[in-house]
Structure 1
Amino acid sequence: MSKEVKPESVSLRPLGGGAAAVMATSEQDPVCIFGTGDLGRSLGQRLLQTDYKVVYGSRRPHSCGPLPEGAQAFSHADAAQLASLIFVCVHREHYEFMETLTSQLEGKVLVDVSNNPEKNLYPEANAAYLQRLLPGCQVVKGFNTLSAWTLQNGPSDASRQVYLCGNSVEAKQAVAEVATKMGLTVLDRGSLSAARELEDIPLQLFPEWRLPLQITVGLLAFFFFYLLIRDVVYAYVDQGKDVSFRIMVSLANKVFPIVSLIMLSLCYLPGVIAAFLQLYRGTKYRRFPDWLDRWMLCRKQLGLLALALAFLHVLYTLIIPIRYYVRYRISDLIVTKIRMNQTSEFDNTIAWRSDSYYSVGILGFGLYVLLGITSLPSVSNALSWREFSFIQSKLGHMTLLLCTLHTYLYGWDRFLYPSMYKWYTPAGYMLSLLVPTVVLTLKLLLLLPCVDRSINRIRRGWERTDLDEEKTLLA
């Protein structure tokens, strides 16, 4: 623990209430931190690395545990007198002790960094409650979206955003200056009424992934049970065979590519729908329906989940040669052929079909991976808009075309065989071709010169009402 120093030994400029207390804090002025837990210590260490002096306010300044080197520990009252900017790193249920420090905290800026374990736990936001307890202070909500680990390791691309809200512009400017010097990016969210919204941010669990995950889980569940009935239950009921072992590899290796192809097509279907909607309306200035807006905003997540399923399909395909069932079938077929003194002639058509099937699949997966890589912020930020659009749109539709062709080559002429329709149900791969085929067909229509010309005119600001006005003038 750092050696305790009397407050009088710290060289400070005079601090008063009101406007003087909300001046921007310089490196010569200490920053006070109430609380010596993990977050308080990490915050103090980060401030010290940014050349700020740090003092801690603690109930037990003599035994509060090890503090960052260079920091000093005082009682809450003494520490509050030394700084104009105070970070409150304590839980809401312990705020009451600050009511006894009204005179020491008068006119100071209090930064509330607290969070709650769940939403709507209290009737008002923690920062609003703190402001009500200490009306003579300027409370700013901020830094609550940063973890102790982030502060210890320095800001990174994924966690350098700091949200601030408060009723005092000067107080927010003082806190923003400290955050900026720490290498963080500040976003002002307005008055203290936005505090509850900021406190709910750390409680969100993948909010942008919720709908894509629901779609993924729904499709996986549907096709798993659909193929379970067709491949496993049907064999047991109709033929008396127990092929339940197929669930682990064979069934999974059918479900994953089916869902992956459908989800990839769902990434491009909303763009096609939007284009036809603009053609129908004759303008780009009318809002899309809410469901279409929401769909278009989650295309990136849909694509990444589809890529993950495609990876699983590749891995499952690679282990096929070492499966016990496959090795058994191959050895049994060879022994049977030898016993019957038979040979199988080489079929050139099947060779072309299988090689084309694998080749198209490899090319499609390669472009699939390229789409996933360019969707990463570190990569997309290095691309111009034209480059990004070319990859995600043109190469994206090429990926969808190759993956759809890969599935068509897999099916070949199987759809003509009655045995493929077990219990009068189509094979899973047939269902997977419906959505991508529709998307590619509609996209082909949009590429027609007459349609493409109209779409481009609309997206450049032309409206059908302009044509109506021209006809009226000519008449």
Structure 2
Amino acid sequence: MDVNSSNMIPLHQTTSRKRLDHKREAICIFGTGDFGRSLGMRLLKSGYQVVFGSRNPQNSTLLPSGAQVCTHADALKESEIIFLAVHRENYDFLSALSNLLDGKVLVDVSNNLKMNQYPESNAQYLSQLVPKAIVVKGFNTVSAWALQSGSLDANSQVFVCGDDNKSKQQVMDVARSLGLTPLDQGSLLAAEELENYPLQLFPMWRLPFIITAGLTVFFFLYCVVIKVIHPYVEKNEDNSYLLMVSIPNKIFPIVSLILLGLVYLPGVIAAFLQLYRGTKYKRFPDWLDKWMLCRKQLGLVAFVYGFLHVFYSLIIPLRYSTYWRNIKYITAQLKKNSTSEMEVVWSWKSDAFYASGILGFSVFCLLGITSLPSVSNVMNWREFRFVQSKLGHVTLLLCTVHTALLGWNKFLILSLYKWGLPPAYLLSMVIPCIVLALKLILITPCVDRMVTRIRQGWERKGKGSSDLNI
């Protein structure tokens, strides 16, 4: 068939026409600051026409080339979607444009300087100020830098909320065309939460940081008392040089082991709580919920401290104090004209100490790698649970054995209890040993079957209307 003599249009012409139609679609931006300029540049690269509305259209030297600049009123005539990239304090100019905004989609991208700064969200205030416009909250969690860099980072998610589903879909379509990932957060009532979100500073890391800082400070002071203050008071020895390497190299593995134990302790507590209640249909206490939600962060901090311990251990042979002690020992042997025989027991102990440490840290690295979203996203639930739970407990066991071999039988030597204080490594083993002991109980066949049944929906008699409540 001759396409030129029919009503049909060749595929390449259809594609070209779609591109032209897409090119003719215009997006209006109110605001010529960093975000407005970055958004305009990204829209232009995605094939949109961009019209900037400005109170001073002549001053447009900083705007991306290819964008049109005109007054606010003229800009509104060019587009059905308007991005409002100005602060709440500058919303007043919109009142005079209320009639022109009738039926237009007004996208509020603003944020505040602090959380809950105003009684209502900026988007809700905007909907009251210009009731004829359809207000949609969105793009406030995306930075100007992310728009310029191509959004190859965590800023690629765009949260959108609004009362009109069609308008929300239009804004989400724009986000997709920019290579972003839109997420519908519901009605405009969610705008307050969206505006508070960018102002949060590591919300899931706050508790892990507090715990880590507390443990670090405590064990630093504890080791200073034992290693520096006690020798100075009792023997007038100056061991202050230990503050740089030796004491940190004790703190890092101690805190790392405790944090690793704290990662798996809430899980066993939750299991025993379900066993006690005989049901899974009851909420855990708030403190346990918060604890379980920050387990990933606790594990990552523990991994960082373990990494620091490895690097600090590598420089031990290079230290002057270690070199001096080795020379002193060799000199003493030469003066006595004798040599010490190798003790097989201590050889086993040292080799087992290093082997357990290497294996424990290797599996620890595997836990850290599988925590990355790019890795965890390609694993199914069973694989992820096997690595994070099963291998996680193996890691805790190996690291605990590594610490126990370090101490060996030193806990029996009373002279090592300076001023009655036990060696620091003993304190680090308390929580891991509790976790391992409780986990050993949970993996026994009879207990494991009961926990599995409860998590599948079974309830003990007296806890519900029937034995099986799913």
* Counterpart in the other structure of 2:17: none
What 5-or-longer segments of structure 1 have no aligned partner? Answer: 1-24
Displacement of 1:195 in angstroms is 1.8
Tell me the secondary structure at the aligned position of residue 63 of structure 2.
coil
SS in 2 for 1:122: coil
Distance, in Å, in 2 between the alignment partners of 1:28 and 1:220 is 60
Q: Is the 8 A contact 2:259 2:298 kept in 1?
A: yes
Corresponding residue of 1:457: 453
Q: Secondary structure at the match of 1:208?
A: coil
CA distance in 2, matches of 1:443, 1:218: 26
Provide the C-alpha distance between the structure 1 equivalents of 2:125 and 2:452, rounded to a whole number of angstroms. Answer: 54
- Matched-pair contact (CA < 8 Å) for 1:81–1:105: no
Aligned to 2:14: none
1:159 equivalent in structure 2? 155
- Equivalence for 2:331: 335
The answer to whether structure 1 residue 288 and structure 2 residue 284 are counterparts is yes
Deviations along 1:247-274, one digit per CA (max 9) or x if unpaired, are: 1111101111011001101111111111
- 1:240-297 deviation line (CA, Å, top 9, x unaligned): 1111110111110111101100110111111111111111111122221111111111
Determine if contact 2:231/2:239 at 8 Å carries over to the other structure.
Answer: yes
Which residue matches 1:87? 83
Partner of 2:443: 447
Q: 1:468 & 1:153 partners in 2: Cα distance?
A: 55
SS in structure 1 at match of 2:422 = coil
The code of the aligned residue for 1:189 comes to Q
Is 1:398 the counterpart of 2:394? The answer is: yes
For residue 104 of structure 1, the aligned residue among 100, 119, 124 is 100
* 1:123 alignment partner, SS class: coil
- The aligned counterpart of 1:433 is 429
Structure 2 distance, partners of 1:147, 1:440, is 45
User: SS of 2:155's equivalent?
Assistant: coil
1: CA distance between counterparts of 2:42 and 2:362?
A: 43
Q: Which residue pairs with 1:38 in the alignment?
A: 34
1:26 CA drift (Å): 6.0
- The match for 2:16 is none
Q: TM-score, normalised by structure 1?
A: 0.90
1:336 and 1:211 map into 2 onto residues whose CA distance is: 51
Task: Point out the more displaced range, 151-160 or 420-429.
Answer: 151-160
Aligned length: 447
Deviation at 1:321, TM superposition (A): 0.6
Aligned-partner residue type, residue 314 of structure 1: V
Determine whether 1:129 maps to 2:132: no
Q: What percent of counterpart residues are identical?
A: 58
Match in the other structure for 1:17:
none
The residue that corresponds to 1:178 in the other structure is 174
In the aligned structure 1, how far is the partner of 2:392 from the partner of 2:149?
37
Alpha carbons of 1:105 and 1:431: their partners in 2 closer, same or farther (altered >3 Å)?
same
Partners of 1:215 and 1:114 lie apart in 2 by 34
Equivalent residue of 2:183, what SS? strand
Provide the residue aligned with 1:301 in structure 2.
297
Equivalent position SS for 2:258: helix
Post-superposition, which runs of at least 4 consecutive aligned residues in structure 1 deviate over 6 A? 466-471
Match for residue 5 of structure 2? none
Q: Which amino acid aligns with 2:354?
A: Y
Higher deviation after alignment, 290-299 or 255-264: 290-299
Moved more, 374-383 or 39-48: 39-48
Cα deviation for residue 74 of structure 1 reads 1.0
Equivalent-residue separation in structure 2 for 1:360 and 1:225 (angstroms): 28
Check if 1:316 corresponds to 2:302.
no
Q: 1:49 aligns with which of 45, 52, 56?
A: 45
Q: What is the rounded CA distance, in whole Å, between the counterparts of 2:76 and 2:142 in structure 1?
A: 24
Counterparts of 1:147 and 1:204 in 2: how far apart (Å)? 15
Partner Cα distance (1:336, 1:296) in 2: 55
Q: For 2:120, give the aligned amino acid.
A: E
Partner of residue 362 from structure 1, selected from 358, 363, 383: 358
Deviations for 1:218-244, whole angstroms, at most 9, x for unmatched residues?
Answer: 111111111111111111111111111
Aligned AA (2:94): M
Judged with a 3 Å threshold, the aligned counterparts in structure 2 of structure 1 residues 51 and 467 are, in CA distance, closer, same or farther, namely closer
Q: Bigger CA drift: 228-237 or 44-53?
A: 44-53
5 Å-filtered alignment, 1:1-16, equals: none
Question: Partners in 2 of 1:467 and 1:36 — Cα distance?
Answer: 62
- Following superposition, the deviation at residue 342 of structure 1 comes to 3.0
Unaligned runs of 5+ in 2: 1-20
Q: 2-side partners of 1:100 and 1:447: how far apart?
A: 70
- Matched-pair contact (CA < 8 Å) for 1:143–1:164: yes
- C-alpha distance after superposition, 1:393-443 (max 9, x if no partner): 111111011000001100001011111111111110001111111111111
